[in-house]
Structure 1
Amino acid sequence: MKLLLLSSLLLPCFSLSAAAPAFKDPKPQRYDITKRASEIDPKAKEHPEIGFVFADKKGAPQDIQHANVDTRVAPQGKLVVWLMGYNSTLFEKVNSYGLHAIQVHYANKWFGMIPGDRRDDGKSLGNMRLEVTTGMDSSDLCDIPKPDSMMERAFQFVKWLSKENPQGKWEQFLNAKKDGLDWEKVIISGSSHGATSSARFAKQVKVDRVVCFCGPRDQLDEWQGYPSATPENRYFGFSHVLDTGWTGDHYCRSWEMMGLHKFGPIADVDISAPPYANTRRLITNFDVKGDAKRAHSSVTPGKAAAKGPDGEFLHEAVWQYLFNHPVDQTGSSVPQDEDCVKDLKK
């Protein structure tokens, strides 16, 4: 494994978009908005066969969606669409960068539904991810129509927000025809399987950038090597080296299949500093007491993340880099790592 060691100074790594409409909020504040997907779009349906329901057996809502924007911060004109459970700490951070953010209800509990003989066939995981994110008929293992896809539910949520929270100027993320999102203004992001679904979606739909925490990984699937609608330099990844996705060669495999080695070596953020030679592959090796589960969740803001003696997060600069580093600033290409096993069937 080749790592990057740097001692460069911490520099601002983002600039505001000149095209972003300024907020004109008479009472600037951070808005925290929730709404059930089933209340926004009457076309939205449940799919219990893959655990995609509006309420659990006790009646607790399962389709609550979250949106946050801080009108006290100059806007960048970009929207983070988060494909995982709501992370309030992460949303506070991206809002502080001038980014809007939403978390949508989509079919993310289907892993156990795939038959064992299909899970490692090289196609089924990616095909199901594509169907549940786009609504395209891509998998014979599920039937997710457009209104129940991540793509459509994100659009319906933003359209609703543009009316319910005019202070946030959410309408800027609608396309010219107002029949979908302007995905080139979207940062698609997630952790674990949410990171993997983000990357799979970005292969199909061009987005502003992709931020993958502890991912992507789809074991033996081949989609990571497909041509990408989103340019390769717009994918960013961050993982812990004790995460089983790393120790099992899944992350390094996916990163190289996606071409990220063309933009710099792997950077250990604990012994280097921004801008990490403009690389797209970031890792950490901070002490998690050998706990692989903590390692997996430690790269996102939260209880498992690295903190200093003062209780402050140690990876603040990393998170800023992932969401804000100019995509046209890239590192030098490096060879693929001979220690990373690509053919995991052997």
Structure 2
Amino acid sequence: MACCAAPMTAADVPVPAYGDAAPQRYHLTKRASDIDSRAREHPAIDFRFTDKEGKVQDLQHAVVDTRVAPRGRLVVWLMGYGAPLFDRLGDYGLHAIQVHYANKWFGIIPTKARDDGTSLGKMRLEAATGQDFTPLASIPQPDGMMERAYQFVRWLAREHPQGKWEQFFSADRQGLNWEKVIIAGSSHGATTAARFAVHQRVDRVVAFCGPRDQLESWQGFPSATPSNRFFGFSHVLDGGWTGDHYCRSWQMLGLHQHGAIVDVDSSQPPYGNSRRLTTHFDVKGDAKRAHSSVVPGGASGKDASGKFLHEAVWRYLFTHPVEQTGAAVPVDPDCGKK
């Protein structure tokens, strides 16, 4: 006779229906400094609430569409807000927030520390958690990504009951239930998202044009988030491929255990259930456009009628069942030899 039941996971918890009298797509905004009086500027890393012209820098965004069946997952986006992405996240039945946290630190890291193989990862983790991981910065908890996200969701739960935001609290309501969180970003944000997910188990990672940190070792650390929950998408002309930055990180994270690298322009969903997706659509040789082209927006590929080329890819990245994976393939022996 069994003594106890298996522990409940985030996937076992019922997703609450909205019960909204006027279903619609909601776009909500609030400044981080208005939500939490503990929030502070950090001039040493040029992290401020307003720029020199007085333009607000700490405005945070949230989207939920109560017309769509909810999936019970919260996307935390680690880069600037973009309506084309957030509109689609709402279409997928996801809640989504973009948070303002103390991440402007690249310019202050001494070259020696930047290239020492550990400092970048430690800085990313301090910015994400608000905990002391590096002597190169001092980012208190209220200014880290985790607390900023929690405080924003607290505000949303209070101010926007239609969205049922409270479902993303931890059992003690003192933080977020990160197993219900999809952590996502592009470039710098994708790399921080992946670093955070190695440290803290999340539901899924979506890394556009990332992760990089080509001299770091953290990608090979034992990961709190299983490798089948990491998804990456980049353009083959992106500079991240020049030095094998993407293929190195993807392999160190173990994504080759879930299928080969797949060119989405010559394949169909579910792309062999792979976690490593690329595109080769024509960017006129522009590496900068290639870098940003994988996120919904002005640089993205479009067909002759003006429709985005990668609608199916974006939906796959955020909603493909994590249990469905491709067959493992060997590591690429040429990756990292350029």
State if a TM-score over 0.5 links the two structures: yes
Residue 206, structure 1, aligned to residue 192, structure 2: no
Question: What is the aligned partner in structure 2 of residue 62 from structure 1?
Answer: 57
Question: What is the aligned partner in structure 2 of residue 257 from structure 1?
Answer: 252
Instruction: For 1:135, give the aligned amino acid.
Output: G
Question: What is the aligned partner in structure 1 of residue 108 from structure 2?
Answer: 113
Give the 3-state SS of the residue equivalent to 2:265 in structure 1. coil
Choose between structure 1 and 2 for higher RCO, CA contacts under 8 A separated by at least 6 residues.
1
Give the 3-state SS of the residue equivalent to 1:270 in structure 2. helix
**Structure 1 residue ranges without an equivalent (≥5):** 1-15
Question: 1:109: how far off?
Answer: 2.0
Question: What is the aligned partner in structure 2 of residue 24 from structure 1?
Answer: 19
Residue 229, structure 1, aligned to residue 229, structure 2: no
Instruction: Name the count of aligned residue pairs.
Output: 328
Question: 1:48: how far off?
Answer: 1.2
Q: What RMSD in Å do the two structures reach over aligned CA positions?
A: 1.2
Question: 1:213: how far off?
Answer: 0.1
Give the 3-state SS of the residue equivalent to 2:38 in structure 1. coil
Maintained 8 Å contact 1:51/1:107 = no
Question: 1:110: how far off?
Answer: 1.4
Question: What is the aligned partner in structure 1 of residue 44 from structure 2?
Answer: 49
Query: CA separation in 1, counterparts of 2:175 and 2:12?
Result: 21
Query: CA separation in 2, counterparts of 1:255 and 1:242?
Result: 17
Maintained 8 Å contact 1:232/1:259 = yes
Maintained 8 Å contact 1:203/1:228 = yes
Instruction: For 2:64, give the aligned amino acid.
Output: V
Question: 1:135: how far off?
Answer: 1.1
Query: CA separation in 1, counterparts of 2:306 and 2:53?
Result: 37
Query: CA separation in 2, counterparts of 1:93 and 1:61?
Result: 25
Query: CA separation in 1, counterparts of 2:303 and 2:105?
Result: 37
TM-score, normalized by length of structure 2?
Answer: 0.95
CA distances 1:2-61 after superposition (whole Å, capped 9, x unpaired): xxxxxxxxxxxxxx9872101111111111111000000111111111121111122211
Which portions of structure 1, spanning 4 or more consecutive aligned residues, are displaced by more than 6 angstroms?
none
Instruction: For 2:265, give the aligned amino acid.
Output: D
Question: What is the aligned partner in structure 1 of residue 327 from structure 2?
Answer: 332
CA distances 1:109-139 after superposition (whole Å, capped 9, x unpaired): 2111111111110001100000000011101
Instruction: For 2:261, give the aligned amino acid.
Output: I
Residue 122, structure 1, aligned to residue 117, structure 2: yes
Question: What is the aligned partner in structure 2 of residue 276 from structure 1?
Answer: 271
Instruction: For 1:198, give the aligned amino acid.
Output: A
Residue 305, structure 1, aligned to residue 291, structure 2: no
CA distances 1:73-131 after superposition (whole Å, capped 9, x unpaired): 11000000000000110000011000000000012321111111111100011000000
Which of 278, 283, 290 is matched with 2:285 structurally? 290
Query: CA separation in 1, counterparts of 2:114 and 2:296?
Result: 30
Give the 3-state SS of the residue equivalent to 2:266 in structure 1. coil
Instruction: For 1:51, give the aligned amino acid.
Output: D
CA distances 1:251-305 after superposition (whole Å, capped 9, x unpaired): 0000001000000000000001111111100000010000000000000000110
Maintained 8 Å contact 1:131/1:137 = yes
Query: CA separation in 2, counterparts of 1:18 and 1:148?
Result: 30
Instruction: For 2:15, give the aligned amino acid.
Output: A
Instruction: For 2:111, give the aligned amino acid.
Output: G
Residue 190, structure 1, aligned to residue 185, structure 2: yes
Residue 341, structure 1, aligned to residue 314, structure 2: no
